[in-house]
């Protein structure tokens, strides 16, 4: 895996987070956090439970509005990012607590990820024949490519609610990939998985990063995986940034070690 990582061309900063502070009532989820993400890299965010990792992703794609700071995306400043803006700017994400559309099949969940690319109007869709059907078929082919890539052909018609957890995580990734994002935010994509499932998921993430050039921001608790696949790591603890470096440097950082030993892990 290490070779694949080193062959990629890491580019300029695409996403710059400047002095982000976010509080819920009295709780400071994030205090004055700054870091950047470079094009094509795999950027990990780690930290003990409640450190503010998920909150950080929610700030990046506009689900939460920080009280202070700004998100700079390819040089464009957003004081108020919204989920719609983020989606249109090419940011996709998966969720820590899977947020699939439970009543829909795997295929429909992933097809929904293409909604921004589908242009036929409501009348054309009601008639179906013609533009709407052509569009539906074109996108179906794209979605089938994703289904093949994630190796979930056998469950494409299954309602997602009936799937085991590991497969739901894959479908969640599939829906995000269907957006053909330039930046992909992954919130604990391997939580609750066994070794084999983790290996599959790591492979998918590396392939996406390598073959599509997608920039990846990854939250993960499994240190082995994180050290293995990420280029740079941000460490959060109680809403503060306590480290921001390459895996090797982070591993050696005494503050990080203390935070991890202090929190019962």
Partner 1 sequence: MIYRENGQFKTSYAADQQIFPIRQDRYAIAALLVFAFVGVPLLADEYMFRAILIPFLILGLAALGVNILVGYCGQITLGAGAFMAVGAYAAYNFLARVDGMPLLGALLLGGATAAVAGIVFGVPSLRVRGLYLAVATLAAQFFFDWAFLRIKWFTLDSSSGSVSVSNLEMFGWTINSPVEKYLFCLGLLAVFALLAKNLVRGAIGRQWMAIRDMDVAAEVIGIRPMYAKLSAFAVSSFIVGVAGALWGFVHLGSWEPAAFSVDRSFQLLFMVIIGGMGSIMGSFFGAAFIVVLPIFLNQALPWLGNLVGVSISTVGVSHSEFIIFGALIVFFLIVEPHGIARLWSTAKEKLRLWPFPH
Ligand X SMILES: Nc1ncnc2c1ncn2[C@@H]1O[C@H](COP(=O)(O)OP(=O)(O)OP(=O)(O)O)[C@@H](O)[C@H]1O
Binding footprint of Mg ion on the chain (CB under 5 A): 54, 96
Cα(125)–Cα(132) distance, rounded to whole angstroms?
5
Q: Tokens in use for 61?
A: 């794609």
Q: Which of 116, 252, 257, 258 binds partner 1 (CB under 8 A)?
A: 116
- From Mg ion, ligand X, partner 1, none, interface partner of 50 (C-beta below 5 to 8 A by class): ligand X
What binding mask, one character per residue, do residues 128-167 give for ligand X by CB under 6 A, x or -?
----------------------------------------
- From ligand X, Mg ion, partner 1, none, interface partner of 2 (C-beta below 5 to 8 A by class): none
Radius of gyration of the CA atoms of the chain, in A:
19
Residue 177 near residue 208 (C-beta atoms within 8 A): yes
Q: Which helix (H) or strand (E) holds 113?
A: none
Find the DSSP H helices in 39-188.
53-60, 83-88, 106-112, 122-127, 131-149, 165-177
Under the criterion CB under 6 A, does residue 29 sit at the interface with ligand X? yes
Q: Which of 1, 11, 83, 199 binds partner 1 (CB under 8 A)?
A: 83
**Neighbouring residues of 208: CB distance < 8 A, sequence distance ≥ 6:** 177, 184, 214, 216
Q: Tokens in use for 261?
A: 């030993």
Cα(164)–Cα(244) distance, rounded to whole angstroms?
35
Q: How far is the CB of 50 from Mg ion (least distance, A)?
A: 8
Under the criterion CB under 8 A, does residue 169 sit at the interface with partner 1? no
Under the criterion CB under 6 A, does residue 49 sit at the interface with ligand X? yes
Q: Which of 77, 80, 88, 162 binds partner 1 (CB under 8 A)?
A: 88
Q: Which of 55, 61, 168, 230 binds partner 1 (CB under 8 A)?
A: 61
Read off φ and ψ for residue 253, nearest 5 degrees. Answer: -70, 115
- From partner 1, ligand X, Mg ion, none, interface partner of 86 (C-beta below 5 to 8 A by class): partner 1
Residue 111 near residue 86 (C-beta atoms within 8 A): no
Residue 148 Cα to chain centre, angstroms: 20
Under the criterion CB under 8 A, does residue 92 sit at the interface with partner 1? yes
Residue 132 near residue 120 (C-beta atoms within 8 A): yes
Q: Which of 14, 17, 51, 186 binds ligand X (CB under 6 A)?
A: 51
Q: Which stretch binds partner 1 (CB under 8 A): 1-9, 98-106, 229-237, 247-255?
A: 98-106
Cα(44)–Cα(69) distance, rounded to whole angstroms?
21
Interacting residue ranges for ligand X, rule: CB under 6 A: 24, 27, 29, 47, 49-55, 96
Interacting residue ranges for partner 1, rule: CB under 8 A: 61, 63, 83-84, 86-88, 92-93, 95, 99-104, 108, 111-113, 115-116, 118, 120, 122, 125-128, 132-133, 135-137, 140-141, 144, 175-176, 179
């Amino acid at each position: 895996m290490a070779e694949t990582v080193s062959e990629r061309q890491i580019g300029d900063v695409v996403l710059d987070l400047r002095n982000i502070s976010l509080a819920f009532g009295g709780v400071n989820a994030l205090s004055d956090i700054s870091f950047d993400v470079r094009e094509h890299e795999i950027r990990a965010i780690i930290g003990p439970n409640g450190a503010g990792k998920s909150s950080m992703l929610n700030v990046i794609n506009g689900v939460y509005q920080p009280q202070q700071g700004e998100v700079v995306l390819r040089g464009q400043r957003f004081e108020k990012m919204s989920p719609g803006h983020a989606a249109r700017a090419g940011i996709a994400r998966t969720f820590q607590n899977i947020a699939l559309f439970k009543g829909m099949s795997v295929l429909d969940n992933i097809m929904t990820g293409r909604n921004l690319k589908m242009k036929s109007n409501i009348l054309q869709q009601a008639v179906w024949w013609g533009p709407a059907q052509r569009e539906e078929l074109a996108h179906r082919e794209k979605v089938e490519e994703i289904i093949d890539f994630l190796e979930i052909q056998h469950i494409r018609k299954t309602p997602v609610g009936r799937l085991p957890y590991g497969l739901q995580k894959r479908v969640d990734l599939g829906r995000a990939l269907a957006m053909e994002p330039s930046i992909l935010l992954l919130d604990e994509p391997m939580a609750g998985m066994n070794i084999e499932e983790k290996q599959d998921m790591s492979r998918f993430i590396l392939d996406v990063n390598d073959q599509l050039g997608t920039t990846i921001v990854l939250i993960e608790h499994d240190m082995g995986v994180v050290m293995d696949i990420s280029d740079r790591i941000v460490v959060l603890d109680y809403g503060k940034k306590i480290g921001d470096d390459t895996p090797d440097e982070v591993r050696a950082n005494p503050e990080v070690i203390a935070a991890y030993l202090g929190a019962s892990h």
